[in-house]
DNA sequence: CGGACTATTGATTTGCGTCAAAGATTGTGG
DNA sequence: CCACAATCTTTGACGCAAATCAATAGTCCG
């Protein structure tokens, strides 16, 4: 629950009492194997899943059995937070790495949000930030070629990993080429070739589950990446802090 | 403000007092010409725009000057509602038809939401429903071919127009082929050819700004359209109605 | 050490983009 | 009410980015 709280605090100011209320949330822990799905959004399920560790993705299947990843989620995220407001919006998720998820009843989250307006604000802001990323993905998939599409995704990953600084740096990158293909709407073969091109140009490289960025500015340019949409602003609060 | 209220009421139950508070919101009215942009999201702007009439779209420009539409908005929608929570998330919108927008200070909306938890809930739910559509668009653009992509968009439009019922029906459709190309990530030429294919198969046709659907089930199948994500559920409320 | 993913490579095909130009609509002002 | 401009739609020819198919290497893990 600690990671969840710090994720909320990164965007919204919370009182000590509210912070305690977040930490008081309880759920049941669950292990998920790498590359396995873990929520099929059945009707009876009344829980939300907090990612405690590992990297996960929201996935949708097209009729031909092709997968599309619509978002990545990191520890502290609740990928189906939207169910607090729209319970019938079920989705499927997959663990990229091995992961631990904590299933929290969404009615518990809802009650906490009703009791503490600051928490409601934090959660609402969280869902908004999520949707800003979704809109950017539509632009990415709809209008950029393979190279730029991948570069953009790598930039986003770099910033969200929290390691983006300086001209060159590295960060954990457990995402397989198949996952990248699912996220960008490309084929695995073409992802492979495009990544080789990025490597050749000394922009981006993956060696053993670690990503290496040589020239951050050049990679951002290649992906037409504008960091704004990730909203890395200091935390705010509009509700009164009584 | 009436259309806005009824849009909120379609998903969330509000008390009479809350309804009055929504109707009490004030803004300045503005006309927008067809196919013209109308919010460039400059720093100083502190307003949100409610669509009073007309059809609008959220647009993003790629570096090559190509446009991507990430969402369509109808009367009663507030396309940049997210700014209530994340004010720096500015975007550009374009009127598809001639439109009237009402600029409301987002601080006004925020204060109303703080005062009336039911309104906060309604707005939060509204942003969630928006983002469900965004996720579906990612799947559409990422994994479906031109024909299915267009069919899916037509299905969504049909449902959101409120006219979808029976085997065949029609509804207003002022969206040009260029707009469709911008929304689906295709070229106008290919949109044209794909629409001719849909017409040949008696699935979908546009005649003079009116869409005609001959075989609703077949069109849904062609677009792999599952109405669930549009969340056409009766209104709910989780906050207490004191 | 063997089985199952994951990555890489080459050959071939195709859906879709681009370019270009001709009609069809629509809207505007004289 | 017509003329003319602007936008939208349609068509054809051509090229290319990316998909598909298929097979070979790595790599990880029990």
Residues by Cβ under 7 A, strand C = A 34-35, 176-178, 188-189, 192-193, 195-196, 206; B 145-147, 185-187, 189-190, 194, 208-209
Lowest pLDDT segment from A38-47, A121-130, A227-236, B55-64:
A38-47
Read off the pLDDT of each residue in A199-225 and give the average, rounded to a whole number: 95
Report chain B residues whose CB lies below 8 A from the CB of A228: 88
User: Which percentage of chain B shows pLDDT scores above 90?
Assistant: 87
d(CA A74, CA A51): 7
CA distance A41 to A83: 10
Least confident among A141-150, B59-68, B155-164, B172-181 = B59-68
pLDDT range class, residue B43, cuts 50, 70, 90: low
Is the pLDDT at B1 greater than 90? The verdict is: no
Residues B118-150: pLDDT tens digits?
999 999 999 999 999 999 999 999 999 999 999
- In this complex, the nucleotide whose C1' atom is nearest to the CA atom of residue A34 is C5
CA distances from A45 to A42, A72, A107, A236, B238 (A): 6, 22, 11, 33, 18
Residue B9 has pLDDT above 90, yes or no: yes
Is 0.75 topped by the overall pTM? yes
Q: Does the pLDDT of residue A41 top 90, yes or no? A: no
Q: How far apart are CA B171 and CA B164, in angstroms?
A: 8
Where residue B74 falls among pLDDT bands split at 50, 70, 90? very high
- Looking at every residue in chain B, the average pLDDT score rounds to 94
Q: Which residue has the higher pLDDT, B200 or B63?
A: B200
Cβ B114–A139 below 8 Å, yes or no? no
Contact across the interface for A128 and B129, Cβ inside 8 Å: no
Q: What is the pLDDT of residue A48?
A: 93
Does residue A109 have a pLDDT over 80?
yes
Among residues A95, A93, A92, A5, the alpha carbon closest in space to that of A55 is found at: A95
Predicted local confidence at residue B102, as pLDDT: 95
Q: Mean per-residue pLDDT for B13-18? A: 97
Residue B62 binned pLDDT confidence (cut-offs 50, 70, 90): confident
Write the pLDDT tens digit of every residue in A133-180: 999 999 999 999 999 999 999 999 999 999 999 999 999 999 999 999
Nearest Cα to A153, choosing from A92, A204, A199?
A204
Determine the pLDDT at residue B232.
Answer: 83
Which are the contacts of A176, defined by CB distance < 8 A and separation ≥ 6? A35, A96
Strands B37-39 and B92-95: antiparallel
Q: Which two tokens stand for residue B104?
A: 């409301």
> 106-125 in B: which are within 8 Å (CB) of A?
110, 114, 117, 120-121, 123-125
Helix (H) or strand (E) holding B150: helix B146-161
Check pLDDT > 90 for residue B54: yes
**pLDDT tens readout for residues A78-91:** 999 999 999 988 88
pLDDT at site A64: 72
Q: Are A128 and B238 within 8 A, CB to CB?
A: no
Banded model confidence at residue B81, pLDDT cuts 50, 70, 90:
very high
CA atoms within 13 Å, Cβ hemisphere of A188: 7
Selecting from B63, B131, B231 the residue whose C-beta is nearest the C-beta of A134 gives B131
Return the pLDDT at A61: 86
């Amino acid at each position: 629950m600690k990671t969840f709280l710090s994720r909320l605090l990164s965007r919204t100011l919370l009182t000590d009492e509210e912070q305690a209320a977040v930490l008081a949330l309880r759920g049941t822990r669950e292990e998920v194997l790498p590359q396995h799905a873990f929520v099929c959004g059945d009707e009876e399920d009344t829980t939300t899943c907090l990612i405690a560790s590992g990297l996960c993705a929201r996935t949708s299947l097209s009729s031909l059995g092709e997968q599309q990843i619509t978002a990545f989620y990191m520890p502290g995220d609740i990928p189906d937070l939207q169910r607090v407001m729209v319970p019938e919006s079920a989705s499927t998720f997959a663990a990229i790495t091995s992961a631990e998820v904590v299933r929290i009843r969404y009615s518990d989250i809802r009650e906490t949000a009703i009791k503490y307006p600051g928490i409601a604000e934090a959660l609402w802001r969280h869902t908004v930030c999520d949707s800003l990323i979704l809109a950017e993905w539509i632009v990415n998939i709809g209008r950029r070629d393979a190279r730029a599409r991948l570069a953009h995704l790598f930039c986003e990953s770099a910033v969200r990993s929290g390691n983006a600084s300086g001209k060159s740096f590295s960060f954990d990158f457990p995402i397989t080429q198949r996952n990248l293909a699912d996220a960008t709407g490309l084929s695995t073969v073409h992802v492979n070739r495009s990544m080789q091109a990025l490597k050749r140009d000394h922009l981006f490289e993956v060696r053993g589950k670690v990503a290496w960025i040589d020239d951050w500015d050049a990679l951002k340019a290649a992906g037409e990446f504008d960091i704004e949409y990730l909203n890395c602003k200091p935390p705010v609060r509009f509700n009164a802090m009584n």
